[in-house]
């Protein structure tokens, strides 16, 4: 299936993510949701994020090495909806993460618990 996906990760402790182009962001513990696309096979992309990869290519590869994957939802939608959903997300954006090929502020969001 081609489409977009939302992948959720749990970070148990503070982690500095080794992405030099983003000044190696420091992430706090919590739940994070990544918005991505897999226009040549979304299932393959999700499997990659939820397994150990030797060659890091995407920003999300660095996060998935530090955080526990907890689930994903795939949607059979055109790739343009990747940015539509990312722009509509309501969470703490990790500035510049996963959006080097578009104009979004981020494609990774820390979910904020309501108190």
Higher per-residue pLDDT: 56 or 95: 95
Looking at residue 26, its pLDDT comes to 94
Beta carbons within 8 Å of 115's beta carbon, 6+ residues apart: none
pTM for the full model? 0.89
pLDDT (tens digit, 9 = 90+) per residue, 34-88? Answer: 999 988 888 988 998 888 878 888 899 989 999 999 999 999 999 899 999 999 9
Q: Over the range 68-83, which residues count as b (16 or more CB within 10 Å of their CB) and which as e?
A: ebeebebeebeeeebb
């Amino acid at each position: 299936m081609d489409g977009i996906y939302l992948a959720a990760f749990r970070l148990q402790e503070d982690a500095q993510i080794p992405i030099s182009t983003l000044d190696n962001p420091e992430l706090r513990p919590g739940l994070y949701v990544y918005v991505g696309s897999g226009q040549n096979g979304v299932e393959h992309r999700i499997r990659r994020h939820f397994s150990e990869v030797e060659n890091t290519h995407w920003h999300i590869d660095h996060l998935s090495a530090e955080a526990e994957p907890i689930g994903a939802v795939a949607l059979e939608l055109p790739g343009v909806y990747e940015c539509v959903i990312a722009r509509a997300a309501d969470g703490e954006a990790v500035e510049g993460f996963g959006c080097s090929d578009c104009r979004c502020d981020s494609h990774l969001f820390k979910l904020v618990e309501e108190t």
